[in-house]
Amino acid sequence: MRLNPFRAVRPRPDLAAQVAAVPYDVVNRAEAAELARGNPHSFLHVGRSDIDLPDDVDPYDPRIYRHAREALDQLLARGTLLQDAKPGLFLYRQVMDGRGQTGVVGCVHVDDYERDLIRKHEKTRQDKEDDRTRHVLTLNANAEPVFLTYRERPEIDALVHRIVSGSTPLYDFTAPDGVRHTIWAVPDPVAMARAFGGVPHSYVADGHHRSASAWRAGKVLRSKNPSHRGDEEYNWFLAVLFPADQLRILPYNRLVRDLKGQTPSEVLGRLGRLGRLTPAGDATPDRTGVFCVYLDRGWHRLELEAGGIDRSDPIASLDVSLLQDRVLSPILGVEDPRTDKRIDFVGGIRGPAELERRVDSGEMAVAFSLYPTTLGQLMAVSDAGHVMPPKSTWFEPKLRSGLFVHQLG
């Protein structure tokens, strides 16, 4: 894989904690507005610029993108963000609940994305891809990094350990959610880039729409440049690459709005014919092939019959596929989870209490708590050239936005 140093645009050290923000796609408009309230340095003014516009502005209105560019320009003009004089690479460590992961921050090539050296496991939605492409082109920058992973390599681990143990961080702060974020400069970017040359391919862990839009923006800028050489910054996009053995995947749980005209007892009866259904003491499945179902103010444990699961099929054997194929479609009538308005998805970070709250309130009728997809499953699907069902993985902790911006001009 190619990894390229870049002239990072990043926060002034004393403002890093105020600039750093959650990714644009993990909060709605109201949540983003509340997080950025009273903080003119928050990168949410760039990533979610709709928070600074009237409530009735369409999320894809051209004003959204223009305002994002203005917000970025203001952060630069005020000296909140500064651009490095020389290209560099960085280390980014996150510690959550005592568990750490350290990635390398740099730029990866759009051609490697197109050639599938950067492998995907999810389909993208056209509207979201169009949105982020317009965002990149209007800002002329990658404003948020793509979260990539790779099979760990001892030579990269050794370089990272040497830097972390022997260097002073550029930034070190704990965000309001309790996650600690620490950034180091890589003193020898050439050596680090050379080490990544031995990585045959990486995988998109989080950021399929960001990576697809970066690739599309690169193609647009190539077509507009009559003097294109191939070494321009738009040929690269911003990423953080983490070794797979450090990452944590949480489940992506499901809620359905109604029972398709059935009573709770009728649904439970049909679930019981799929395997062993028992009252559940908690809401956490202990292994693959097991689901916890919240219905009629109680948790139930559904263990599918193991003999009916084809473990040789990397797609059909995923728990999200088993739930879709055996429960959501035939019992609840959710045929296409990408488009059906009756289904919603909740990241595992919110816990079972959020599932209970939404069902008990009457907003939803039933909730399903899943066993998390593993990185081995993600890689097997990607290596086979397949894609997972939507909302199959939820990675935590999330990368903070605003710590690095890659300008394309």
3-state secondary structure of 381: helix
Task: Report the half-sphere exposure of 151 (CA within 13 A, side-chain side).
Answer: 11
Q: Are residues 190 and 105 in the same domain?
A: yes
Clarify whether residues 298 and 313 are in a common domain: yes
pLDDT in tens, 29-69: 999 999 999 999 999 999 999 999 999 999 999 999 999 99
Query: Tokens 């999330």 identify what position?
Result: 398
Digit-coded pLDDT (tens) for 10-21: 999 999 999 999
- Judge whether 265 lies within some domain: yes
Asked if residue 380 belongs to a domain, the reply is: no
13 and 115 fall within a common domain: yes
| CATH classification at residue 349 | 3.30.1760
Report d(CA 247, CA 205) in Å as an integer.
10
The span from the CA of 12 to the CA of 122, in Å, is 36
Domain span at residue 234 reads 9-248+397-407
* pLDDT computed for residue 212 by the predictor: 97
Q: Which residues of the chain have pLDDT under 50?
A: none
Q: Is residue 381 part of a domain?
A: no
pLDDT at 125: 84
Does residue 230 sit in the same domain as residue 345? Answer: no
The residues pairing with 368 across neighbouring beta strands, listed in sequence order, are 254, 293
Q: How many CA atoms lie within 13 A of 320 on its CB side?
A: 27
Q: In total, how many domains does the chain have?
A: 2
